[in-house]
Amino acid sequence: MFDTLYECFWSERLWLPVGLTWADLEDKEGRVYAKASHLYVTLPYALAFLLIRYLFERWIATPLAVSAGIKQRIYLKAEENSVLEFYYATQCRNPAQADIDGLSKKSSLSTRQVERWFRRRRRQDRPGVLKKFTEASWRFVFYLSAFIGGMVALHDTMLESQYWYYVLEMSFYGCLLFSVAFDVKRKDFKEQIIHHLATLVLLSFSWCANYIRVGTLVMLIHDASDVLLESAKLFNYAKWEKTCKTLFVLFAIVFMVTRLIIFPFWLIHCTWVYPVLYYPAFFGYYFFNIMLVVLLCLHIFWAYLILRMIRKFMFGTLTKDERSDNEEEDGDESSSTQDEVEQRHKPAGPLVADKKYDENGGTRSLSPPENICWSKTVC
């Protein structure tokens, strides 16, 4: 059965136009053609990128953030509570008032204590500025290096340079898929996953079907705007507002030109119009262009967010990234100040009165504080 599936997957009618066979793409007379086996190395390279990223963020990006005045704020941690933790992990991170009342009865806590617990628990999962800065630093370094490498590969007709450009780009996007569990999540999280998968499928298909030139161009125009986006983020986290705004404007211009003009009206036009002048349309032709259209739809979605940011930017109401998660809009920051004030007014002694009522209405004895944490700022 495996052999049958293998033969169906690599059917010449799926990948190649009528009149061409895999035998025509065999190496001969000094000519070397792209093969699917060349891409097997991307999996271990993607894992290697995870290690390189960890070392870069720890030993380069973090010291750079500290030198830029970026500090990690430590919030009060939520006390251990199995009932609330189970609800937080399986149901909702921001429960409604009716759910809070029910959880209050189950956990033997007041509604105010339940609300405070969820506020603190959400803040624990929220990435700090330091994490965002290190992540943006890693992406900026890669996109800048990839853009320079893409320019070299574009002018080099040798397969070897284009091969390494493909391998590094695919390994990087594979690394991004592996790291989604601990990367900063935003509103467009699902769109990002679709983008990464579509990019990997598109690059793999273009390599195997020898659409290498157009694949190189697709990667190049994506990296051009990503460099400016990540650099704008870095200066935003460092509070260099004028530099950030300038880079964001440049990013918006480059994004609109490359992804909404060059990408559809040059690249997709070429892949959609010219191939059928030489060969009849086949499955690979439609599949390749559909994947390009998927990327174009994502570009339109992100262009909408960018235009919203520009509108707010022009009227002076832009305070955050439009893609920031809704969790950051629930008022936790203002509530955190209230929590810290309450914490400071608690008696500071070896024992803290923790007045919890048992089922019979009596009070439990005094117990040591489970979690005393002063709000502080550390490097």
Cα end-to-end distance, the chain, whole Å: 58
Average the pLDDT over each of 50-59, 129-138, 171-180, 331-340 and give the range with the smallest value.
331-340
Q: What is the 3-state secondary structure (H, E, C) of 259-314?
A: HHHHHHHHHHHHHHHCHHHCCCCCHHHHHHHHHHHHHHHHHHHHHHHHHHHHHHHH
Shared domain for 139 and 256, answered yes or no, is: yes
| Residue 322: per-residue pLDDT | 55
pLDDT tens digits for 202-221?
999 899 888 888 899 999 99
Rounded CA-CA distance 266/58 in Å is 41
Q: Residue range 192-196: average pLDDT?
A: 84
User: Which residue did the predictor score with more confidence, 303 or 26?
Assistant: 303
**Cβ-contact 183, 270 below 8 angstroms:** no
What percentage of residues in the chain have a pLDDT greater than 70? Answer: 81
SS3 for 376? Answer: strand
Structure tokens at 273: 């119009």
Structure tokens at 84: 């609330």
Shared domain for 111 and 211, answered yes or no, is: no
Shared domain for 93 and 193, answered yes or no, is: no
DSSP 326: G
| Residue 260: per-residue pLDDT | 96
Q: Give the DSSP letter string of 4-43.
A: HHHHHHT-HHHHS-TT--GGGGS-BTTB----GGGGTTHH
Q: Residue range 287-314: average pLDDT?
A: 89
Most confident of 150-164, 181-195, 247-261: 247-261
| Residue 37: per-residue pLDDT | 87
pLDDT tens digits for 84-105?
888 888 888 888 888 888 888 8
Last residue of a domain, one of 267, 286, 315: 315
| Residue 252: per-residue pLDDT | 94
Q: Residue range 325-349: average pLDDT?
A: 46
E strand or H helix that includes residue 378: strand 376-378
Q: Residue range 365-374: average pLDDT?
A: 38
Q: Residue 348: is its pLDDT beyond 50?
A: no
pLDDT tens digits for 250-275?
999 999 999 999 999 999 999 999 98
Shared domain for 192 and 144, answered yes or no, is: yes
Sign of the Cα pseudo-torsion (154, 266, 252, 304, in order): negative
Count of CB atoms situated within 10 Å of the CB of 155 = 8
The structure tokens 């959400």 sit at 122
Q: How many domains does the chain have?
A: 2
Question: 304 pLDDT band (50/70/90 cuts)?
Answer: very high
Last residue of a domain, one of 299, 315, 331: 315
Q: Residue range 69-88: average pLDDT?
A: 82
SS3 for 323? Answer: coil
Q: Residue 120: is its pLDDT beyond 60?
A: yes
| Residue 25: per-residue pLDDT | 79
Residue-number span of the structural domain to which 236 is assigned: 63-67+128-315
Sign of the Cα pseudo-torsion (130, 132, 133, 138, in order): positive
Q: Residue range 296-325: average pLDDT?
A: 76
Q: Residue 64: is its pLDDT beyond 90?
A: yes
Shared domain for 121 and 148, answered yes or no, is: no
Structure tokens at 366: 């005094």
Q: Residue range 123-127: average pLDDT?
A: 77
What percentage of residues in the chain have a pLDDT greater than 90? Answer: 37
Q: Give the chain's mean pLDDT.
A: 80
Q: Which of 142, 127, 134 is nearest to 67 (CA)?
A: 134
| Residue 263: per-residue pLDDT | 96
Q: Residue 235: is its pLDDT beyond 80?
A: yes
C-alpha gyration radius of the chain: 27
Q: How far is CA 161 from CA 24, 165, 340, in A?
A: 23, 6, 56
The structure tokens 């990997």 sit at 200
Shared domain for 256 and 211, answered yes or no, is: yes
Rounded CA-CA distance 340/96 in Å is 24
Last residue of a domain, one of 257, 286, 315: 315
Shared domain for 136 and 273, answered yes or no, is: yes
> Which CATH number does the domain housing residue 89 bear?
1.10.10.60
Q: Residue range 186-206: average pLDDT?
A: 84
Rounded CA-CA distance 195/191 in Å is 6
Question: 359 pLDDT band (50/70/90 cuts)?
Answer: very low
Shared domain for 198 and 213, answered yes or no, is: yes
| Residue 121: per-residue pLDDT | 83
Question: Is 351 within a domain?
Answer: no
Question: Is 9 within a domain?
Answer: no
* Nearest-10 Cα torsion for 239, 241, 244, 246: -160
What is the tally of helices (H) and strands (E) in the chain? Answer: 15, 2
| Residue 345: per-residue pLDDT | 47
| Residue 339: per-residue pLDDT | 52
